[in-house]
Amino acid sequence: MAYITPHNQAPRGAFANTVLMPGDPLRSKYIAENFLDAAELVNNVRGVQGYTGYYKGKRVSVMASGMGMPAIGIYSQELFQFYDVTSVIRIGSCGSLDRDLHIRDLIIAQGACTDSNYADQYRLPGTFCPIGSWRLLRAAADEAAARGLNFKVGNVLSSDHFYNDSRSTLDWTRMGVLGVEMEAAALYCNAARLKKDALCILTVSDSLVGGEPETSPEERERTFTDMVEVALTIAD
């Protein structure tokens, strides 16, 4: 079989207009099996599972992004550029940098600060500020509010470092950054460059400032349902 890209075996048209992107392939599989009707596996290259099905009659896809900006940079670029996907909504976990945000609360990422050099490829004469789609952000905030969820909208830190030797992550709290994750900035850069829509919705899995016990991989796979339902509801 000739693949359209080195990382995707799906035929053209296999993905819906909106693709939800969790980091973990098992979370992609869980969402497809538990939230989508008639879900079909359309891509499994390198085990990065991609499915297309229906949510309340609406065609939606879900595919894993892997961990880190290089990974989501590849997968979102290919979805936008080669599969005509119009919107990618990252649904992931994060560490809270805000004392008012606790385990399973949501962050809707208006912007994504970063310590990455991902945007260097654009050869800009300054610093690019990666931001999410206002259309998707407004819809997600309205939906989260209607559901009575505890959430905040604001900046996150997309870091290249899970184990940060400088121990400087907490310095971002001085600038009001709400949480730390590893993918949103690259997704937002790709969307800006390709004139597409992107949003990152995060569930707090642990707190760097509150001393709460972190969630297990199994809990992150199976219990972050508020975030998933908000993303599925705003998908178009």
Q: Any catalytic annotation for residue 206?
A: yes
pLDDT in tens, 177-210: 999 999 999 999 999 999 999 999 999 999 999 8
Residue 202 belongs to a domain: yes
Containing 31, the helix (H) or strand (E) segment is: helix 25-35
Q: Phi, psi (5° rounding) for residue 110?
A: -70, -40
Return the number of other C-beta atoms located less than 10 Å from residue 88's C-beta: 28
Q: Is the confidence at residue 127, as pLDDT, over 60? A: yes
| 183 within some domain | yes
Is 58 a member of any domain? yes
Q: What is the pTM of this model?
A: 0.95
Tokens 């199976």 identify what position?
222
Residue 6 lies in a domain: no
Catalytic residue among 24, 105, 197, 206: 206
The residue range of the domain holding 46 is 18-234
Residue 95: strand pairing partners: 180, 206
Query: Please, which pLDDT band fits residue 1 given cuts at 50, 70 and 90?
Result: low
CATH value at residue 218: 3.40.50.1580
* 62 in any annotated domain: yes
CA dist 79 and 98 (Å) reads 33
